[in-house]
């Protein structure tokens, strides 16, 4: 049922993505669009590729970690890849500088910065700064990457995702200047798994999804094109929501003295049949899978962090291949992964190797195998880098996965 009419629905001819037909043979079109900041994605992927040229050469996981500190961050002078003919000398000079600092270590500050390398010409051309973090925290196990780049985080701002939401809706509207050719048309904007990985989050700093919607409503009111209603759907684990973005006039609501929570509840009841129709197709074929992907990525990162914590807490043991041994007090998702499956994925830890009974285990392999067709496989190891394989093969992921 939709709007008190019986309807049948199928995957549409594109356009629309979903095609509904009521009892009077009137056709209703539902279009889908991903909520993405494509520019951010392209920027971060270029940055990943750039950093990989350095990390592949440095390979700190294959080197003994410093005695007096635990983490080294390198900052580039320019955004350019490491040239192949400079690679060997760059690595030699980098480890010389780190070794000299380790030998003469007397600092007590939580972060120590080196901003000049007068005796190291190649290093000076590429690096603006070396940061030494976690003094006094020597890594007791081998096989852990201890040289890297700063995270891509920064001051939180929701503006990029607000702009991205407006831009994506505008792009979809521009595609159909004369309408979709159906009696009624609806637009559903979904928060894509790529946005979860690469984009600025739309929540944080006292700003959330409700605030995003409030900011874009005036824009959509004047730019909704052929769409009778516009929805936003998020599938983040623990925050699955379907929100009507337009048409709700907050000015009219305020004049009528109707509370937003009350109108939302009424809208969910009135539009419940539409949600069921759309969710029945989207969550089973697209959104549910996107939610599974989001969940798998988050679970992988949590398990990697739990492995690192376990190895630091048990330096005599190193990494573990037992899911039940991982700490669950700090990493609550671990408890949900005890049986090895969660949200469409089977998780497994293997590849532990102990070269000597007196030495800790320095290796492990973590995999997330999809239980449904058409979903990516994920993997990681002691390097802490999460990778994926679009074909869904964990073996291909381990052998030649694409890093996030």
Tokens 């074909």 belong to which residue? 391
In terms of Cα–Cα distance, which of 371, 362, 393 is closest to 145?
362
Tokens 């992907």 belong to which residue? 293
Tokens 């390979």 belong to which residue? 59
Q: What angle do CA 54, 57, 63 make, to 5 degrees?
A: 115
3-state secondary structure of 349: strand
Question: Domain 303-403 is in which class?
Answer: alpha beta
Instruction: For residue 50, give Cα distances in angstroms to 47, 56, 131, 281, 359.
Output: 5, 10, 19, 39, 35
pLDDT at 290: 61
C-alpha to C-alpha distance for 161 and 40, rounded to whole angstroms: 10
C-alpha to C-alpha distance for 157 and 216, rounded to whole angstroms: 16
| CB 378 within 8 Å of CB 387 | yes
pLDDT tens sequence across 178-235: 777 887 888 988 876 566 656 666 665 567 778 888 888 888 888 888 898 898 888 6
Compare 28 and 260 and report the one with higher pLDDT: 28
pLDDT tens sequence across 310-369: 988 888 888 999 888 998 877 777 887 877 888 888 999 998 876 565 678 888 999 999
C-alpha to C-alpha distance for 380 and 365, rounded to whole angstroms: 6
Taking the model in full, what pTM does it have? 0.45
In terms of Cα–Cα distance, which of 175, 143, 163 is closest to 352?
143
> Which uninterrupted H or E stretch holds 398?
helix 394-400
Q: Is the pLDDT of residue 69 over 60?
A: yes
Strands (E), 6-54: 7-11, 18-22, 27-34
Q: How far, in whole angstroms, is CA 78 from its chain's centroid?
A: 26
pLDDT tens sequence across 261-272: 444 444 444 344
C-alpha to C-alpha distance for 404 and 385, rounded to whole angstroms: 8
pLDDT at 284: 42
Q: Where in the chain are the domains? A: 7-34+155-285, 59-148, 303-403
pLDDT at 82: 92
pLDDT tens sequence across 101-158: 888 887 666 778 899 999 999 999 999 999 887 666 555 555 667 888 875 544 445 6
pLDDT at 50: 86
């Amino acid at each position: 049922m939709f709007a008190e009419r019986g309807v049948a629905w199928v995957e549409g001819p594109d356009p629309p993505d979903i095609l509904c037909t009521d009892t009077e043979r009137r056709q209703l079109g539902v279009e889908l669009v991903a909520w993405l900041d494509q520019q951010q994605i392209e920027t971060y992927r270029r940055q990943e590729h750039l950093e990989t040229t350095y990390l592949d050469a440095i390979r700190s996981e294959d080197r003994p970690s410093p005695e007096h500190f635990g983490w080294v961050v390198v900052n580039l002078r320019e955004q350019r890849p490491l040239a192949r003919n400079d690679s060997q000398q760059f690595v030699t000079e980098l480890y010389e500088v780190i070794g000299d600092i380790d030998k003469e270590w007397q600092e007590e500050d939580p972060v120590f910065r080196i901003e000049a390398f007068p005796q190291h010409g190649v290093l000076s051309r590429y690096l603006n700064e070396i940061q030494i973090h976690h003094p006094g925290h020597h890594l007791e196990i081998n096989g852990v990457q201890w040289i890297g780049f700063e995270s891509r985080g920064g001051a939180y701002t929701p503006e990029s995702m607000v702009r991205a939401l407006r831009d994506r809706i505008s792009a979809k509207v521009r595609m159909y200047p004369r309408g979709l050719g159906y009696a009624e048309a609806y637009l559903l904007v979904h928060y894509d798994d790529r946005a979860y990985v690469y984009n600025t989050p739309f929540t944080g700093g006292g700003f959330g999804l409700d605030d995003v919607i409030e900011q874009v409503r005036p824009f959509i009111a004047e730019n909704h094109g052929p769409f009778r209603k516009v929805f936003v759907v998020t599938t983040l684990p623990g925050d699955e929501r379907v929100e009507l973005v337009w048409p709700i006039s907050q000015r009219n609501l305020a004049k009528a003295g109707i509370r937003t929570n009350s109108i939302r509840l009424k809208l969910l009841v009135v539009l419940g049949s539409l949600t069921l129709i759309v969710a029945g197709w989207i969550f089973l074929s697209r959104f549910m899978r996107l939610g599974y992907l989001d969940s798998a990525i988050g679970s992988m990162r949590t398990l990697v962090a739990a492995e690192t914590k376990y190895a630091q807490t048990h330096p005599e043991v190193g990494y573990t291949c037992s899911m039940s041994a991982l700490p669950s007090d700090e990493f609550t998702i671990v408890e949900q992964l005890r049986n090895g499956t969660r949200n469409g994925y089977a998780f497994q830890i293997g590849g532990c190797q102990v070269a000597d009974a007196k030495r800790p285990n320095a290796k492990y392999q973590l995999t997330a195998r999809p239980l449904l067709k058409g979903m990516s496989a994920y993997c990681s190891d002691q390097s802490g880098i999460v990778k994926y394989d679009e074909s869904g093969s964990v073996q291909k992921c381990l052998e030649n996965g694409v890093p996030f």
